[in-house]
């Protein structure tokens, strides 16, 4: 286990994007890969945060990081929960086959 952690830390980089839910980010119920349609209807809350939380809790979505047109699954919901709908800087290592980021650290992104 210690070896895996050391390897993850060596391959870590910073990803900048918005924490979202897989439902909106992957166009399951959104045409724009965003919360735009749901926010207009207010059917899943009035903010990006409430929309993401609703979709994860009620529609089986999971936490993702949207980086432009790319969407990456985030593996540490315990670290990421609370950042839904926020622009963040995620430090972690990317598993490109799974399109998943192993999250080591997350902070609000004030610079992007």
DSSP 73-100: EES-HHHHTT-TT-EEEEEEEEETTTTE
Q: What is the DSSP letter of 45?
A: B
Neighbours of 74 (CB within 10 A): 24
The pTM score is: 0.75
In the structure encoding, which two tokens stand for residue 54, read together?
A: 């609703």
Q: Where are the domains of the chain?
A: 2-108
Q: Each residue's pLDDT tens digit in the chain (112 positions)?
A: 344 444 455 689 999 999 988 877 776 655 555 556 555 656 666 677 777 777 778 777 788 999 988 999 999 989 999 998 899 999 999 999 999 999 999 999 987 5
Query: What pLDDT, on the 0 to 100 scale, is given for residue 39?
Result: 57
Residue 28: which residues within 8 A CB-CB, separation 6 or more? 22, 59, 61
Distance CA 57, CA 23 (A): 11
């Amino acid at each position: 286990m210690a070896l895996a952690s050391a390897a993850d830390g060596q391959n870590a980089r910073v990803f900048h994007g918005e924490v979202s839910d897989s439902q909106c980010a992957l166009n399951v119920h959104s045409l724009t890969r965003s919360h735009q349609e749901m926010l207009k209807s207010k059917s899943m809350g009035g903010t990006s945060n409430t929309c993401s939380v609703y979709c994860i809790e009620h529609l089986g979505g999971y936490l993702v990081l949207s980086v432009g047109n790319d969407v990456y699954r985030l593996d540490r919901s315990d670290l990421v929960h609370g950042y839904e709908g926020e622009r963040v800087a995620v430090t972690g290592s990317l598993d490109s086959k799974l399109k998943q980021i192993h999250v080591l650290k997350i902070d609000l992104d004030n610079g992007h």
